[in-house]
Every structure is written in C-alpha cells, then in structure tokens.
Structure 1
Amino acid sequence: MYVLSCPHLPEGAQTPVGSEVYRGLTARPKMLSPWLFYDARGSDLFEQITELPEYYPTRTERSILSAHADQIVAAAAGCERLTMIELGAGTATKTGLLLKAAVRLQDEVTYHAIDVSRTALDEAKRRIEAELEGVAVVPRVGDYTEGLGRVEADGQRRMVLYIGSSIGNFEPEDALQLLRDIRRELKAGEKLLLGVDMIKNCEVLLRAYDDAAGVTAAFNKNVLARINRELGANFNLDLFRHRALWNEERSRIEMHLESRIAQRVVVPALELEVKLQRGETIHTENSYKFRDEGVIEMLERADFCLSDHWTDNCDWFGVYLATAW
C-alpha cells in the first residue's frame, strides 16, 4: 500500500486508506485502488459475486482445482513436504481443494493466509479448521506485496498460491514486478501457483462484471460508502452509475463510477473538496485478461520456469504451476 508522507498534508492522508483516497481523488483522471473495495461489506459482496451465474471465473477455476488438485500438489511437493502461502486469500473457498489434497499427501499442512480483510481471514480460519482435520491456518492481515519472506516453513518447501486471477488487477509492469518480488522471497525449487483469466468473447466478460442482479454495482459503489464512513465524506451513492467496459486495445475490463450530475463532494478527514462533472468517472478497477504465451513470458521474465499448466474445456481460465530457479 502506498502511503503519502508529507508534513503539509492533512493528518487523515497519513493513513493507508486516507493516503490512497487522497492520491486517487486528486489524480487526473480520478481513480481509486481496488484494495479499497475490501472492507467487511465489500468482502461480503465479493463473495456474493463469485456465486452469480454471470461470474464464471470462480466456478471455472474451482472446477480446474477440483479435477487436478492431487496432481497439482504432488507436482509442487516432489519428494518434499509443502507449506502453503496464499496471497489475497479472502475466505479461501477454493483453497480447501488444495489443502485436502495436501492432507491426503502428507497428513497435515500449514496454511498461511494473507489478506487485507480481517473479517475474511477470520471466516477462512474458522471454516477450514472446522472442516479439514490436519490443516493449521495462520492468518495475517496486511498487504501481501510485502513481507512474504517472514513466513517460516521449518525447512519445508513453500508453495505460494496466487489464484483467482488477482494478477489481472495490476498494470502489466506492476504485475511483473509483483512476480519478481515473490520470486525474490523464494528459494530455488520453491513453487508458485498462479490463476489467470484468459481472453474470451467480450460479451461474456461484460456480463461477468455487470450482472443483472446489480451485485457488482453495489460492490463498486461500496468503495464510496467506505470513504463516507471512514473519512466522513458525503458521497451520495445514488448519484453514481456503475460502468463496466472492455478495453480491446489493452485487453482489460475496466470498472468505473460515473457521476450522474455535476457535483461537489467533501472529504473532511482529508480537508478535500472533490468536483465532478456530469459523466466524469472515478476509475476503480482493471481486470486484465491473458493469452497463454503472455503468461509464460511473464513468468520467465520474473525468473520462474513453467512446470505444468491446467485449464478448463473452453480455455476460459488457466492455472499455472511455476518453479523458482
């Protein structure tokens, strides 16, 4: 997380949330980082999104893991015992498939779950330890882009899970740098399991990010509700429209909040007045989609080599096992 540190800025802008909101709402064009989505309400809304009929990524990735979990874990472990670390774990609903496979292979496994949402991690720990004997859950609230090396494995091989296509929320160079940062924290021979959403028909993509029930719209607008609650802002959510669009040139879905009218919003904790024109947007998220050759090139540039790759019957989603070298 980026934190502004300037003595002339309001005190509220010195916190992670305040810093990100200040930076984003004073930028041109305006933007907000997608990690701001994930307060308790946002985490709950995202879990609802993953169950929507239009939202194919979660169920498609789950089907891949269900079919290949034993193969994935065996390939990752080799002749060693595994410790698993998940970045952006959320409630870890899909991860149980891999944890079950690890228990079948080695009787017990330690699972380090890292996420910005304490609520999601508490739910993951409660559910996994109740359902899966042999799994010890170690939750850590924080930014998963830092401090991976602090996770001790007691001599076991570590496998980092970065599933759910979260890599697509980063700009290409930032995604590459994240993979390089992960690689820097790993020893040669340790593993990365990467979940990636592939390029497909744009109508399928757009429906996934603008569902008929309006859950994604509520998820998007919740970032404004969070700013109201935590920073005292007066955003009127009814004066914003959720927009999702496919950017063909950059191979990404974009999510925006579009102002329905010309308006002014005050954010007292940041001593900030935000002016928006009618039709002006706040850019809240990108979700890049990939081709197979692009994923392999990105892994190789980050000093990983591809060990194996699994996909669904339609090639809508890919799960890549890579080895640090």
Structure 2
Amino acid sequence: MHVLSACPNLPEAAHTPLGSEVYRGLTARPKTLSPWLFYDARGSELFEQITELPEYYPTRTERSILSAHADQIVAAAAGCEELTMIELGAGTATKTGLLLKAAVRRQSEVTYHAIDVSGTALDEAKRRIEAELEGVAVVPRVGDYTQGLGQINADGQRRMVLYIGSSIGNFEPEDAVQLLRDIRKELRAGEKLLLGVDMVKDREILLKAYDDAAHVTAAFNKNALERINSELDADFNLNLFRHRARWNEECSRIEMHLESLIAQSVSIPALELEVKLQRGETIHTENSYKFRDEGVIGLLERADFHLSDHWTDEREWFGVYLATAW
C-alpha cells in the first residue's frame, strides 16, 4: 500500500491507504485499482465462494497437493528441528489446516502466525482451527504481508513462511522479486518458504476460472467499487460496469478489468475528485500471472532462496515449491 505524502493540498482522506490508492489509480492513464481493495469483509466472503466454484481449479488443486504431501512437506521443511508456521495473506486458512495437522502429528504442538488485511477472516480462521486442531495455537496479525514478520519470535524453532494460493501471481514480476527479497531479509539462513504457484495451461481453462457462470467473480471485482462507495462516499453505479477477464499471452497473465458501459462521471467527495470514464474504458483491477517451472526457480534464486523440493498434481496445473533461505 502506498500513501500519498508529497501532495499536502489534497484532502485528508487522500493520505490514507485506501484514499491514496483510489486517488492514484483513478487519476492515472490507464485507470487502475490495486487488488487489495477487494478484501473488505464482503470481498473476503466472495473470494471464499469463488474458491468453491467448479470453474475455479486453483484452490482445490493446491489443496489436493497439500493433502497428498503434507507430511513430506513438513518433514522436509523441519529437518531435525521443530517448526513455527507464518502465513502471509492467510484469509480463513482453509488449506493451511492440512499442514498444521501434519505438524501436530510430527511435533505435538505448533504455533501458527496468520497475517492478513482482513481481521474478520483471521477471526474465523482462529476459531475454526483451534476448535478442530488440538495442539495448534493461532496468533492472528492484521497487516499487509511482511509487516512485522521479523518481530515474530519462534523461540528457537525454525520458521516456515507460507505464501500459498498463488498470491505471488498478483504482483508485477519485479515487485514479486522484491516481495520475496523482503521475506528473505526477515529469515535466518536455513529457514523456509513454501510458495504456491499457478502454472500456465489452456487459455479457456484460465478464462473460465476468472469469469464463472454464476458471476461470483464479477461481484468480487465490482466489490472494489462498492467499497469505494461505502468508505469514500462515492457514487459508482455498479450496474454501469461490466466484469472483464482477459488472457494476456505475451505477459503470461490473466487480467481483470471493470469496463464502463457508458460515458459517465463518478463523484468521490471524500477525495474531492470527479472521475470521467468513456464508454468501453476500463479500470484494470488485477493481474494473475501464470508460471512455468523454470520461471519459479528463477524468481526464487533472484530473491536469494534455493529450491529444496517441489510437488505438483497429476496434470501439473499447480505447483508447491519449498525453498531455503541462503
């Protein structure tokens, strides 16, 4: 999140993380909004619905990999030590329980630090995991990715950072490298990163995953506008925007856009901003990069990790990579 600091004449709301992102993105050409704007309480609920859709393969495919290999993953990560687990962008941590169960089988007790921007999702994760898994202590932390990562005391245990769900694909390539470098700086040599990555596959499979028949992804995309209405008193008419998913072959990414159906002007009073859109103009809300094996290894190596092991499904649609900090 970036906060505008060099424009003192802007209204106070423009100096908050939300206001700054909205002001920056909607005055840019082309217009953009960061995908973290999706994730208020409603957006988190919608994303959980997306993960259960028949078209949305990433969650169930990654879950199948973790289910098949959880004990092997935990053993490889721990070596001769015990693990403390830290998850970035934990959400409701529905898949993480598979790894936590494996850790409990191995070491009886495990501490799980769950970091996410949604306090609501973290509260649900803590209630469910501690009710279902005796031996797991959940420590929720509301924050943005690596914020406070280095302050987590593992009491001499080896830390494994989980960054699963292919969230790394939401970052531009150089930003993805920088994020992994930031994680690496907070780890000791020998500590681990578990990275979940969505792989390149047939274009139609990818497009259906981001443009489902039930239009849940469309509602999720439009939730960014609904949040701006709610928190910045804007007057976006959601019916005047259409969800668009595109496959960008050259960049190897799915793009999500909100297309204006008419020429229109939107008022955002809290930012003292009028946003004009032409018919057919889009607001680019998300990228989801898809990877090949060599690209993942190169990404890790540029961030001073080396690949220790990796696991995939039988169709090689998704990959889970265990990396070690040099």
Q: 1:66 matched to which residue of 2?
A: 67
Q: 1:143 matched to which residue of 2?
A: 144
**2:251 matches 1:250:** yes
Deviation at 1:146, TM superposition (A): 2.7
Quick one: distance in 1 between partners of 2:2 and 2:167? 18
Please say which of residues 9-18 and 246-255 is displaced more in the overlay: 9-18
Please say which of residues 160-169 and 297-306 is displaced more in the overlay: 297-306
Q: 1:306 matched to which residue of 2?
A: 307
Quick one: distance in 2 between partners of 1:144 and 1:115? 7
Q: 1:270 matched to which residue of 2?
A: 271
Quick one: distance in 1 between partners of 2:312 and 2:129? 26
Deviation at 1:290, TM superposition (A): 0.2
Q: 2:4 matched to which residue of 1?
A: 4
Quick one: distance in 2 between partners of 1:102 and 1:22? 44
Q: Aligned letter for 2:79? A: G
Quick one: distance in 2 between partners of 1:131 and 1:101? 13
Instruction: Please list the CA deviations of residues 183-239 of structure 1 after superposition, one character each: whole Å capped at 9, or x if unmatched.
Output: 010000000000000000000000000000000000000110000000000000000
Aligned pair count reads: 325
Structure 1 gap segments, 5+ residues each: none
Q: 2:102 matched to which residue of 1?
A: 101
Quick one: distance in 2 between partners of 1:118 and 1:266? 29
Quick one: distance in 1 between partners of 2:129 and 2:63? 16
Q: 1:92 matched to which residue of 2?
A: 93
Deviation at 1:147, TM superposition (A): 2.4
Q: 1:322 matched to which residue of 2?
A: 323
Quick one: distance in 2 between partners of 1:150 and 1:165? 25
Q: Aligned letter for 2:198? A: D
Quick one: distance in 1 between partners of 2:276 and 2:75? 55
Instruction: Please list the CA deviations of residues 63-115 of structure 1 after superposition, one character each: whole Å capped at 9, or x if unmatched.
Output: 00000000000000000010000000000000000000000000000000000
Instruction: Please list the CA deviations of residues 220-267 of structure 1 after superposition, one character each: whole Å capped at 9, or x if unmatched.
Output: 001100000000000000000000000000000000000000000000
Quick one: distance in 1 between partners of 2:24 and 2:91? 26
Q: 1:209 matched to which residue of 2?
A: 210
Alignment of 1:222-233 (within 5 A): 222-233=223-234
Alignment of 1:29-178 (within 5 A): 29-178=30-179
RMSD: 0.5
Quick one: distance in 1 between partners of 2:88 and 2:69? 20
Alignment of 1:231-242 (within 5 A): 231-242=232-243
Q: Aligned letter for 2:3? A: V
Q: Aligned letter for 2:300? A: L
Q: 2:14 matched to which residue of 1?
A: 13
Q: TM-score, normalised by structure 1?
A: 0.99
Deviation at 1:133, TM superposition (A): 0.3
Q: Aligned letter for 1:99? A: L
Q: Aligned letter for 2:256? A: M
Quick one: distance in 2 between partners of 1:97 and 1:199? 25
In percent, how many aligned pairs have the same letter?
87
Q: Aligned letter for 1:230? A: E
Please identify runs of 4+ aligned residues in structure 1 that moved more than 2 A: none
Q: 2:190 matched to which residue of 1?
A: 189
Instruction: Please list the CA deviations of residues 136-173 of structure 1 after superposition, one character each: whole Å capped at 9, or x if unmatched.
Output: 00000011133210111111100000000000000000
SS at the partner of 2:32? coil
Quick one: distance in 2 between partners of 1:97 and 1:316? 20
Structure 2 gap segments, 5+ residues each: none
